[in-house]
Chains A and B, each alone.
Chain A
């Protein structure tokens, strides 16, 4: 699959595990539907977290008062990645081999997702490639998945 646009729509029966959306991450998932990648930022010191957490740099209470969801650039670098050759779940059978990467967002936090599009890394020893978010919309299911693609610099 060669993915060029910033987003694409997949409107088929969902055959994979569903995302776990709860009180803590509901805003994050809502953001994805609007094609925004939200991270959790401390209003006092600017430290950025994902997923939601207490700010590690100072006492902060009550919990939500010091931090807020804020839009991230959607860009980052590959921190480590693997290449799945086995589909453990039948929903991934048509996608193997696929790259599942740990991504260090420009804002700092690590997030993990599948890489899509061309230019996929193949040498495990090589990290640091720039990636950017691609929004995979599933309107029939009511959620958007954040995937990433390698950016040619």
Chain B
């Protein structure tokens, strides 16, 4: 077969991160700052940027910003295009796919992709009104709202529950995922939970939120912004930092599965996405040095470990309990702490970590000889029982 013609043809050359609570900044100011940092990181100027994509959640967390107040205007980018892109937590994967088309046709030489959220700040406001969680989750529009389906955890926890019922997976095994990610976070000074290690016992003792999920099965609620600069491989060589090449990308949807086939409650749409991405890159799972798997809740990590084939379906619980995804394990997963322990900026969290690992910028948690990283995203419309129907798989490499 060999590599697809597109493999290694595009690269991430800039990364900008604004992390931690931003109570005094609007979403668009966070966005503009992340973009500014990414442009500087690439050794470029605002004038070089030809297009911008605003990575924005849809469904449960979407359509809450004023699109006309684009961060590009704030920052003074004279871009040829600007649009919003995303689906639940599948943001960067989709945005990158679109970007490559613009680069390919010379519509822009450098494109900035940016995602910003103020979920943490919003949660502080909603708490004053007696609600838990983010204000935008209060909007109408999905089935179970009057029936007690209040938050993402209301239906995501079924996926864990179903896996537990079908395969005998235990809450303590899910806890091992939380513990492993916290171990990674404790090596990442940027992580929310840096310096706060936990044990499986801590996980078991954390409050039950929507059983089987404890508080420590759930991802962070965060403020922040992450921006990337993408360009073509030939231009990438002249940028300030080592290029991170896009080796392959794949996508899968199980929206029909989850409504009608009832299969997706113990798996993600990995199969088609994996086939496409690994086919383009012409590599196998053994070539992957570490993985940044979308982890809005613990069970999603378990599903993906099984779906990609690091272990068999149903054996994910034992696999994680054996420490396979933790530091020193057979497949390091979510090496920056992930959404569970670092911060929640959709799949941008994992993508930022992938870039750092491939550049050798990951400090204490750096994976030795890290050549290839797998990053995933997923998202849906939060219309229970359907959720997380899309899965994105992005393979990045140190070498084209």
A residues neighboring B (CB under 8 Å): 16-20, 49, 51, 53, 56, 79-90, 92, 95, 97-98, 100, 102, 104, 109-114, 124-127, 145, 147
Contact = CB atoms under 8 A, between A and B. Distances in A.
Interface stretch (B255-263, B270-278, B282-290): B255-263
B175 to A, nearest CB: 14
12 contacts: A16-B145, A17-B138, A20-B141, A20-B145, A81-B161, A102-B155, A102-B162, A109-B260, A110-B262, A125-B164, A127-B162, A145-B147
A147 B147 contact: yes
Nearest to A51: B143
Nearest to B214: A85
Contact of B150 (A19, A83, A89, A127): A89
Given A53-B259, A82-B211, A92-B150, A20 B143 contact: yes
Nearest to A111: B385
**Which of B143, B147, B207, B260 counts the most chain A CB atoms within 10 A?**
B147
Given A53-B259, A56-B260, A104-B262, A125 B211 contact: no
Nearest to B156: A82
Contact of B157 (A53, A82, A90): A82
Contacts of B151: 88
A98 B148 contact: yes
Contact of B210 (A82, A102, A104, A109): A82
A57 to B, nearest CB: 10
B212 A124 contact: yes
A100 B259 contact: no
Given A19-B145, A20-B145, A79-B262, A124 B165 contact: yes
A90 B131 CA distance: 6
Contacts of A124: 161, 164-165, 171, 211-212
Nearest to A138: B146
**Which of A102, A114, A147 counts the most chain B CB atoms within 10 A?**
A102
B385 A114 contact: no
A92 to B, nearest CB: 6
Contacts of A98: 148
B62 to A, nearest CB: 16
Contacts of B212: 82, 124
Given A110-B259, A110-B262, A112-B155, A80 B147 contact: no
The 9 tightest CB contacts between A and B, nearest first, are A88-B150, A17-B145, A83-B211, A80-B162, A80-B158, A82-B157, A90-B130, A80-B161, A127-B165
Interface residues of B, number: 44
A100 B144 contact: yes
Contacts of B213: 82
B165 A126 contact: yes
Contact of A17 (B132, B133, B140): B140
A85 to B, nearest CB: 4
A88 B161 contact: no
A112 B384 contact: yes
Contacts of B165: 80, 124-127
Contacts of B155: 102, 112
Given A95-B148, A110-B262, 20 more contacts: A16-B145, A17-B140, A17-B145, A18-B140, A19-B145, A20-B141, A80-B162, A81-B161, A82-B161, A83-B208, A88-B133, A88-B137, A89-B138, A90-B129, A90-B130, A92-B150, A110-B385, A112-B143, A112-B149, A145-B146
B140 A20 contact: yes
A84 B150 contact: yes
A42 to B, nearest CB: 12
Contact of B147 (A86, A114, A125, A126): A114
Contact of A86 (B149, B158, B168, B209): B209
A100 B211 contact: no
Contact of A82 (B140, B158, B265): B158
Contacts of B129: 90
B142 interface: yes
A50 B141 CA distance: 16
B132 A88 contact: yes
Interface in B236-283: 256, 259-260, 262, 265
B146 A18 contact: yes
Contacts of B143: 20, 51, 112
